[in-house]
A = this chain, B = another copy of it.
Amino acid sequence: MDEWFSHTVRVRFAETDAQGIAHHASYVVWLEEARVAHLAAVAGGYTAIRERGIEALTTGIELTYERGAAFDDVLIVRVRCAEARGARFRYEYVVERDGMRVATGSTRHATGDASTHRPIRVPAWLVDDLLREPGLPSAPSSVSP
């Protein structure tokens, strides 16, 4: 999965539950943290997107848990934007520990006006940014608003 962006999280004690493993809601927050880190790497970050008048709303989430994660485990969240068109984009995730899959998931998002939250198309510069490989330079469209 070379084209994926990798983000590392370490399981906090507060994120565990009485089953002795990370609570299943914690993963939702980790996916978001990885998505934010990906956006920072490819599109100048979530704050920069908002400053250009775009708000990104989460419209769906799906997670499959394959293994438990324990306190202090170091997890790699692999993340990529799999699709961006119209006023929607979708992210995919694989959570791993020591090369073994712990969970997989995806999130769906809608772009809206940052003030009114009314849907607006994902701008071309953002589509380019979301779908390009992290580490490659932005297309010119993303630097000239």
List the interface of chain A (C-beta within 8 A of B): 12-14, 16-21, 23-25, 28-29, 32-33, 36, 45-47, 55, 57-65, 68, 70-72, 117
Q: Say what secondary structure dominates the interface of chain A.
A: mixed
**In contact, B13 and A36 (Cβ under 8 angstroms):** yes
**In contact, A17 and B16 (Cβ under 8 angstroms):** yes
A-B contact pairs, 7 of them (CB 8 A): A12-B32, A12-B33, A13-B32, A18-B21, A24-B28, A45-B72, A57-B65
Q: Whole-angstrom distance from the CB of A44 to the nearest CB of chain B?
A: 12
Given contacts A14-B29, A46-B71, A61-B62, 12 further A-B contacts (CB under 8 A): A12-B32, A13-B17, A13-B33, A13-B36, A14-B23, A18-B18, A19-B55, A25-B25, A36-B72, A60-B65, A61-B63, A62-B63
Q: Whole-angstrom distance from the CB of A29 to the nearest CB of chain B?
A: 5
Residue of chain B at shortest CB distance from A18? B16
Bound complex: CA of A121 vs CA of B46, how far in Å?
36
A20: chain B residues within 8 A (beta carbon): 18
**In contact, A18 and B59 (Cβ under 8 angstroms):** no
